[in-house]
Amino acid sequence: MPTPKQEKFIKIMLENVGTKGNTKSLGQMLLEAGYEESIAKNPYRILESETVKEGLSETVKKMKKIRNKALKTLDNKSLDEEKPKDVVDIVDKLQKNIQLLSGEETERVGLKQVLVKFIDEDEKETTDNKDTD
């Protein structure tokens, strides 16, 4: 069960992450939620909390689906409606937000790692769908 500060932080995160024009840092969001400045200077201590991860998990799942859909669009031979540059930008931003919200490493991550995860998830989804048919 999240503490009142964790609940407030989760709410602030969900309102701000991925919002166009958002300029709040993690530290600013933590301060707004009532955390001490020492914690705001090291926000990953809070993001690594299982309670916070759980509170953000549904949003992370939705973002992963959107990211995977964008990757499938890139894989599609006819990109008539979407510019590849725009799709790559969407994938990049979603990946960074997914990493941030799920407490994953947010340092430079090679595109290869992202694509391998996507392929693995896609293969698992395909296998799961075959099992239910």
Q: Are residues 34 and 81 in the same domain?
A: no
Q: What sections of the chain are H helices per DSSP?
A: 4-16, 26-32, 37-40, 44-47, 50-75, 84-102, 111-132
Q: Are residues 19 and 64 in the same domain?
A: no
Our count of domains for the chain comes to 2
Q: Are residues 71 and 94 in the same domain?
A: yes
Average pLDDT over residues 22-40: 88
Residue 28 predicted with pLDDT over 80: yes
Q: Are residues 126 and 64 in the same domain?
A: yes
The string of pLDDT tens digits covering residues 65-96 is 887 887 777 666 555 566 767 777 777 877 77
Contacts of 26 (CB under 8 A, 6+ apart): 40, 43, 47, 100
**Structural domain range at position 102:** 56-133
Answer yes or no: pTM beyond 0.75: no
